[in-house]
Amino acid sequence: MKDSKFYILNKGLYFHSKTYKYGISIRLVVICCATLLCGCRQKPLQSDIQIPEGQYAQGFVLTQHDGYTKAVIFDPWEKGRVMQTYYLVSDLTDSALLPSADDGIIVRVPVHRLAATSCTHVGFLQAIGETRSLCGICSPKLVYTPIPKEDEGCADLGDAMQVNPERVLLTHPDAVMISTYAQGDGVRQYFEKTDIPIIYNNEWTESSPLARAEWIRLIGAFYDKQPLADSIFRSVEQQYNQLRQQVSEQVGEKRTLMAGNNFRGTWYMPSGKVYTGQLYRDAGADYYYQNDSTNGSIPLTIESVLLKFRNADVWVNSTARSMKELRQIDEKHTWFKAYETGEVYNFLRRSTDYGANDFWETAVVHPEQLLQDLVWVLYPDLLPADYEPRYTEKLE
């Protein structure tokens, strides 16, 4: 079909062609769209697409054009390869403004009904005032932010790793937002074979707090709220960098920090390359693995942790809620100086008994607030005397 274009409206997918002026069967549309979307997995490397100077996030690029916004999502599993290209258009009535979408799909914005597979997506929606657009989400009990209930039209889509496809289809979403966890991700492969447009939200693969937070700019574009999203992020960036600079200038001798817990014989510590590792560094902590470039967590034995962290001043990101519980989890936890001095903290202040934790939602969008909490743990004199931590609590 010559000069063909696919574009998505809020209530379905349509086919437009200069050669074929009339509609074609829904089955053919679905087949064509499935072929188009599946082709995303085979997209070539795009070394000519550059991350704009000053952008923290490495997983996407937004560019403005006359009548539309182009959004490119990179495959986190293969550097430089494009996962998907979107052409976000708010007005589909003027065909002269429709871009050529040979390398991607055209999506009408704003999105009105969204199915989401991760609670981290909710933090971004909350920030731009769009939680009401949720028509379905995985494991709603694990969502801390108030969202519509099931009887209000937000369906339970099952577990994030085993999404119920029938429930997703029954919600009639304009788009489904997913996080990809591997190249062979089953959830991703399933939705690539449907006619539902997929919004890839891979913020969790970014290595810095500001890079993760910057994905709000991408989410804002799908809701036609780019100015708002940009404003929110620039405020976050300014506050985060100001506090980081203050710590750098005013902290003399750094306090030592350890993190995590002993879990079934293995203690996982973040490397300096990952999100939490950089957060500890920005808070002015002396963290043993702050210069380690491992791409992920570092598995350690309890003996290795004792050797390197026995005398650490503070202990953060514990999974326990009390010192008693910490001791019950493992008696060896009592061998650390931070336990002896009572300097143990968790990130469970905003959490529920069901396991929902705002640390995975608004803290992703607002790392400046999380950074404040860590500075409060390490150097409370740098903050106002009445500062109340948002995500962090001290174990009693």
What pLDDT digit, counting tens, does each position of 17-46 carry?
A: 333 232 333 333 333 333 333 333 445 555
Share of the chain above pLDDT 90, in %: 72
Q: What is the pLDDT of residue 5?
A: 38
pLDDT in tens, 127-185: 999 999 999 999 999 999 999 999 999 999 998 888 888 899 899 999 999 988 765 56
Residues 6+ apart with CB under 8 A from 175: 8, 107, 111, 114, 115, 196, 197, 198, 199, 222
| Cα of 10 vs its chain's centroid, Å | 25
Q: Pick from 82, 72, 59: which is nearest to 202 by CA?
A: 59
Q: Reduce the DSSP state of residue 35 to 3 states and report it.
A: helix
Q: What is the average per-residue pLDDT within 342-362?
A: 97
The confidence score (pLDDT) of residue 94 equals 67
pLDDT surpasses 60 at 388 = yes
pLDDT per position as a tens digit, 105-128: 989 999 999 999 999 999 999 999
Mean pLDDT, the chain, rounded, equals 86
Best-predicted range by mean pLDDT (168-172, 236-240, 265-269, 299-303): 236-240
- Greatest mean pLDDT among 28-32, 234-238, 328-332 lies in 234-238
- Residues 392, 349 contacting (CB under 8 angstroms): yes
In this structure, of 37-51, 322-336, 345-359, 377-391, the range with the lowest mean pLDDT score is 37-51
**Crossing angle of the two packed helices 226-250 and 275-282, in degrees rounded to 10:** 50
Q: Please provide residue 278's backbone torsions phi and psi, each rounded to the nearest 5 degrees.
A: -70, -35
- Summarize pLDDT for 31-87 with one digit per residue, the tens: 333 333 333 344 555 557 889 999 999 999 999 998 899 999 999 989 889 999 999
What is the mean predicted confidence (pLDDT) over 334-357? 97
